[in-house]
Amino acid sequence: MEPAACKGRRGGRATAAVAKENIPGWEDDGRADVDFVKEGSALRIEANGLAETGPPPSSTPDLECDDQPSSVQCFTTYQVVRMRRSELCNHLTRLSLDTSGTKEVLRQRLKSYCQLEHRRKKGSEDQSACSKRPAIARGILHASELEPCAFNYICVVDFEATCQEHNPRDFQHEIIEFPVVLLNTRTLQIEDTFQEYVKPFLNPTLSEFCTSLTGITQETVNAADYFPEVIDRVVNWMRQKGLGTTYTYAILTDGSWDMARFLKIQCQLSQLPYPRFAKKWINVRKTFSYFFKLSREKTKLSHMLECLELQPEGRAHSGLDDSRNIARVAGSLLSRGCCLRLNESLSQGRVTAVRAAEALAATPVPYTPQHKHSRNSQSPSRLRI
């Protein structure tokens, strides 16, 4: 059976040079419009009404063939970003990949595929083995291709705090849920979780909006302990896991608010020094934005899950459920070859970028922050408000 013809259209100086070299009598009039038609082993070049058939010249751009999906060229990020939805669907269909989702999801799916193929072609010595692997649209790398993460574990933290429907500018948020999800960076599995609720003292009665948003009831916080006791148990749990001693680890959050605002305000209210182990962290939104070349506006948790083709699990604005979903995002990023680095820190009360030389530095051993005054300073009457 005669193989199907493969067509490609190119313009500009490069194609003009190819046409001039291969088609006798063709002159460049500044409007190069060249069709390359592959017919079997020969190449037919059509330009401005003139044509010539012969072996493909070495300078001819890569052609795309409908019956050879494995030969589809890997596009650059710039090319993918400029594609219309119909073009994205067409390329994904030829690769036997899913075409569902928003235009941004389709874009990310094709970019992930191209990034994976680029890594395979660049780093693999056995091309035949690579060609036998199934095409993975999501860009998930084989375990042997993953670079080891600088940290053995990632501690994902996503606080829930007191709030009102319309918070005043000077509203003091108090932490009411302290979750930690432990992600193993080698297995990419969640190994353990910690969760405790915290009793607020500045605004001990939760607003209806806060209860509706977080699902945390007044009875739950009434039965909880104050923050100093809870963070002491958090630290003991982390030390039991060998974090900072046997294993290296890093804190990871969804944005800057958890460490730079919620934890900072809570430590001030509880008259505790800010814990050293939480002064540097990984802002997964920044990492996601940089890795996938997306704007910061497109890095909300729901959008990250959608782009990574992950279904949200649990209840939105539940600290533990959100932390689990954030951990799944982090694990998915690692599976695509993303390097998780410390990228934010709290310095003199302000969020600053972590210097490159310190981005992979070990996080200190967790210690319980000591009260600045007496041992009873955790009681509401002794706290500085």
Instruction: Give Cβ neighbours of residue 51 (< 8 Å, ≥ 6 apart).
Output: 23, 44, 45
Q: Tell me, yes or no, whether 136 lies in a domain.
A: yes
Query: Residue 120: is its pLDDT beyond 60?
Result: yes
Q: Judge if 115 and 48 occupy the same domain.
A: no
Q: Is 358 a catalytic residue?
A: no
Q: Judge if 102 and 35 occupy the same domain.
A: no
| pLDDT at res. 82 | 84
| pLDDT at res. 221 | 98
Query: Residue 9: is its pLDDT beyond 90?
Result: no
% residues pLDDT > 90 (the chain): 50
> What is the DSSP code (8-state) at residue 373?
S
Q: Judge if 298 and 376 occupy the same domain.
A: yes
| pLDDT at res. 27 | 53
146-179 pLDDT, tens per residue?
667 999 999 999 999 999 999 888 899 999 999 9
Q: Judge if 123 and 51 occupy the same domain.
A: no
User: Does residue 284 contact residue 326 with C-beta atoms inside 8 Å?
Assistant: yes
Query: How confident is the model over 46-66, as a mean pLDDT?
Result: 44
If one counts every other C-beta atom within 10 angstroms of the C-beta of residue 279, the result is: 16
User: Does residue 177 contact residue 272 with C-beta atoms inside 8 Å?
Assistant: no
> Given 52, 67, 82, which residue is the final one in a domain?
67
- Residue-averaged pLDDT of the chain: 79
What range defines the domain where residue 47 resides?
1-67
253-288 pLDDT, tens per residue?
999 999 999 999 999 999 999 999 999 999 999 999
310-356 pLDDT, tens per residue?
999 999 999 999 999 999 999 999 998 899 999 999 999 899 999 98
> Given 67, 96, 124, which residue is the final one in a domain?
67
Q: Tell me, yes or no, whether 147 lies in a domain.
A: no
Query: How confident is the model over 5-16, as a mean pLDDT?
Result: 46
Q: Tell me, yes or no, whether 148 lies in a domain.
A: no
| pLDDT at res. 98 | 78
346-356 pLDDT, tens per residue?
999 899 999 98
More confident residue, 183 or 372: 183
Q: Tell me, yes or no, whether 5 lies in a domain.
A: yes
Q: Judge if 238 and 166 occupy the same domain.
A: yes
Q: Tell me, yes or no, whether 86 lies in a domain.
A: yes
Angle at 354 between CA 349 and CA 358, to 5 degrees: 125
The residue to which tokens 């490609």 are assigned: 8
Name which of 20-29, 217-226, 282-291, 367-376 the model is least confident about: 20-29
CATH no. for residue 268?
3.30.420.10
| pLDDT at res. 372 | 62
Q: Judge if 77 and 63 occupy the same domain.
A: no
Does the model's pTM come out above 0.75?
no
**φ and ψ at 254, to 5 degrees?**
-95, 80
Q: Tell me, yes or no, whether 289 lies in a domain.
A: yes
Q: Judge if 209 and 351 occupy the same domain.
A: yes
Q: Judge if 373 and 313 occupy the same domain.
A: yes
Q: Judge if 266 and 366 occupy the same domain.
A: yes
The β-bridge relationship of strands 153-157 and 249-253 is parallel
Q: What total of structural domains would you count in the chain? A: 3
**Of residues 46, 91, 117, 160, which has the active-site annotation?**
160
**Of residues 87, 229, 317, 371, which has the active-site annotation?**
317
196-216 pLDDT, tens per residue?
999 999 999 999 999 999 999
Q: 38: pLDDT confidence band, cut at 50, 70 and 90?
A: very low
Helices (H) and strands (E) in the chain, counts: 13, 12
Q: Is 177 a catalytic residue?
A: no
CATH no. for residue 115?
1.10.720
- Where would I find the H helices in the chain? 13-22, 77-81, 85-94, 103-123, 127-132, 208-214, 218-222, 227-240, 257, 264-269, 284-292, 301-307, 319-335
Query: Residue 64: is its pLDDT beyond 50?
Result: no
Q: Judge if 276 and 320 occupy the same domain.
A: yes
Query: How confident is the model over 105-109, as a mean pLDDT?
Result: 82
> Given 116, 142, 168, which residue is the final one in a domain?
142
Query: Residue 28: is its pLDDT beyond 70?
Result: no
Q: Tell me, yes or no, whether 138 lies in a domain.
A: yes
Q: Tell me, yes or no, whether 293 lies in a domain.
A: yes
Q: Judge if 344 and 220 occupy the same domain.
A: yes
Q: Judge if 109 and 231 occupy the same domain.
A: no
Show the tokens assigned to 204.
Answer: 């001990």
